[in-house]
Amino acid sequence: MKRQKTLETNANNSNLFDLLSEEIVFTILDFIDTNPLDRKSFSLVCKSFYITESKHRKNLKPLRQELLPRVLNRYPHVNHLDLSLCPRINDNSLNVIANTCRDSLNSIDLSRSRFFSYNGLMSLALNCKNLVSIDLSNATELRDAAAAAVAEAKNLERLWLGRCKLITDMGIGCIAVGCKKLRLISLKWCIGVSDLGVGLIAVKCKEIRSLDLSYLPITNKCLPSILKLQHLEDIVLEGCFGIDDDSLAALKHGCKSMKALDISSCQHISHVGLSSLIGGAGSLQQLTLSYSCPVTLALANSLKRLSMLQSVKLDGCAVTSAGLTAIGNWCITLSELSLSKCLGVTDEGLSSLVTKHKDLKKLDITCCRKITDVSIAYITNSCTNLTSLRMESCTLVPSEAFVLIGQRCQFLEELDLTDNEIDDEGLKSISRCSKLSSLKLGICLNISDEGLSHVGMKCSKLTELDLYRSAGITDLGILAISRGCPGLEMINMSYCIDITDSSLLSLSKCSRLNTFESRGCPLITSLGLAAIAVGCKQLIKLDIKKCHNIGDAAMLPLAHFSQNLRQITLSYSSVTDVGLLALASISCLQSMTVLHLKGLTPSGLAAALLACGGLTKVKLHLSFKSLLPLPLFEHLEARGCVFEWRDKEFQAELDPKCYKLQWEDIAQ
- Residue 430's SS3 state is helix
Stretch that binds another protein, among 22-30, 117-125, 479-487, 540-548 (CB under 8 A): 117-125
**Cα 469 to Cα 242: distance, rounded to the nearest angstrom:** 43
Shortest Å, Cβ 116 to another protein:
9
Question: Which residue, 344 or 602, is less far from another protein as judged by CB?
Answer: 602
Residue 261's closest CA among 239, 282, 234?
234
156 strand-pairing partners:
none
Minimum CB–partner distance for residue 98 and another protein (Å):
8
Number of neighbours of residue 512 by Cβ within 10 angstroms = 17
Complex with another protein: residue 307 or 587, whichever CB lies closer: 587
Q: How many residues bind another protein (CB under 8 A)?
A: 50
CB of 126 to another protein, least distance (A): 6
Q: Cα–Cα distance between 153 and 103 in angstroms, integer? A: 12
- Binding residue for another protein, selected from 66, 244, 373, 498, defined by CB under 8 A: 66
* Residue 71 or 397 with smaller CB distance to another protein: 71
User: Does residue number 223 form part of the binding site for another protein (CB under 8 A)?
Assistant: no
Shortest distance (Å) from residue 263 CB to another protein: 25
Interface with another protein by CB under 8 A: which range of 30-38, 471-479, 585-593, 627-635? 627-635
Q: Using N-to-C axis directions, what is the helix angle for 91-101 and 118-127, rounded to 10°?
A: 0
Binder to another protein among 53, 169, 449, 464 (CB under 8 A)? 169
> Is the Cβ of residue 125 or residue 350 nearer to another protein in the bound state?
125
Please report whether residue 123 would count as binding another protein according to CB under 8 A.
yes
How far is it, in rounded angstroms, from Cα 167 to Cα 197?
10
CA distance 466 to 484: 16
Q: Tell me if 103 contacts another protein by CB under 8 A.
A: no
Q: If binding is defined by CB under 8 A, does position 629 make contact with another protein?
A: yes
Give Cβ neighbours of residue 373 (< 8 Å, ≥ 6 apart).
397, 398, 400, 401, 404
Task: Candidates 252-260, 349-357, 506-514, 632-640: pick the segment binding another protein (CB under 8 A).
Answer: 632-640
Q: Are 272 and 297 in contact (CB under 8 A)?
A: no
Residue with smaller CB distance to another protein, 631 or 666: 631
Q: How far is the CB of 618 from another protein (least distance, A)?
A: 16
Q: Is 661 in the site for another protein (CB under 8 A)?
A: no
Minimum separation from the CB atom of position 511 to another protein (A):
33
CA angle at residue 159 from 156 to 162, to 5 degrees? 165
Q: What is the DSSP code string of 261-301?
A: EE-TT-TT--HHHHHHHSTT-TT--EEE-TTSS-B-HHHHH
Strand partners, 416: 390, 440
Nearer to another protein, 197 or 316 (CB): 197
User: Of residues 171-200, which lie at the interface with another protein (CB under 8 A)?
Assistant: 171, 173-174, 177-178, 196-197, 199-200
x/- binding map, residues 606-625, to another protein, per CB under 8 A?
----x--x------------
Residues 431-460 that bind another protein (CB under 8 A): none
List the alpha helices (DSSP H) in 461-551: 475-484, 501-507, 526-535
Stretch that binds another protein, among 95-103, 335-343, 372-380, 481-489 (CB under 8 A): 95-103
User: What is the amino acid identity at position 241?
Assistant: F
565 binds another protein (CB under 8 A): no
Q: Is residue 366 at the binding interface for another protein, with CB under 8 A as the rule?
A: no
Nearest approach, Cβ of residue 594 and another protein (Å):
20
Give whichever of 120 and 273 is closer to another protein, judged by the CB atom: 120
Contact with another protein (CB under 8 A) among 24, 44, 638, 661: 638
321, 296 contact by CB (below 8 A): no
Is the torsion defined by CA of 441, 445, 451, 452 positive or negative? Answer: positive
φ, ψ at 203 (rounded to 5°) = -80, -40
Question: Distance between CA atoms of 648 and 567, rounded to whole angstroms?
Answer: 21
Q: What are phi and psi of 108, to 5 degrees?
A: -140, 135
Instruction: Name 210's bridge partners.
Output: 184, 234
What is the C-alpha to C-alpha distance for residues 626 and 619, in angstroms, rounded to an integer?
15
Determine, following the binding rule CB under 8 A, whether residue 115 of this chain makes contact with another protein. Answer: yes
Nearer to another protein, 126 or 622 (CB): 126
Determine if 95 is a binding residue for another protein (CB under 8 A).
yes
Map the footprint of another protein across residues 125-164, applying CB under 8 A. 126-127, 141, 143-145, 148-149, 151-152, 154
- 312 or 608: CB nearest another protein: 608
Helix (H) / strand (E) containing 188: none
Is 637 an interacting residue with respect to another protein (CB under 8 A)? yes
Other C-beta atoms closer than 10 Å to the C-beta of 655 total: 11
CB of 152 to another protein, least distance (A): 7
CB of 225 vs another protein, minimal distance in Å: 9
Note whether 153 and 179 are within 8 A (CB): yes
Which among 98, 94, 28 has a CA at the least distance from the CA of 65?
94
Shortest Å, Cβ 134 to another protein: 17
Select 171 or 579, whichever has its Cβ closest to another protein: 171
Rounded to whole angstroms, what are the CA distances from 2 to 6, 19, 41, 360?
6, 22, 12, 45
Residue of the chain from 122, 229, 581, 594 that contacts another protein (CB under 8 A): 122
Tell which positions 25-64 bind another protein, by CB under 8 A. 64
Helix (H) or strand (E) holding 160: strand 158-160
Q: Is 207 one of the binding residues for another protein (CB under 8 A)? A: no
Which of 174/568 has CB closer to another protein?
Answer: 174
φ and ψ at 562, to 5 degrees? -90, 70
Told to check if 204 binds another protein by CB under 8 A, we report yes
Three-state secondary structure call for residue 152: coil
Amino acid (1-letter code) at residue 356: K
Residue 587, helix vs strand vs coil: coil
Residues that bind another protein (CB under 8 A): 64-66, 90-92, 95, 98-99, 115, 117-119, 122-123, 126-127, 141, 143-145, 148-149, 151-152, 154, 169-171, 173-174, 177-178, 196-197, 199-200, 203-204, 610, 613, 629-632, 634-635, 637-639
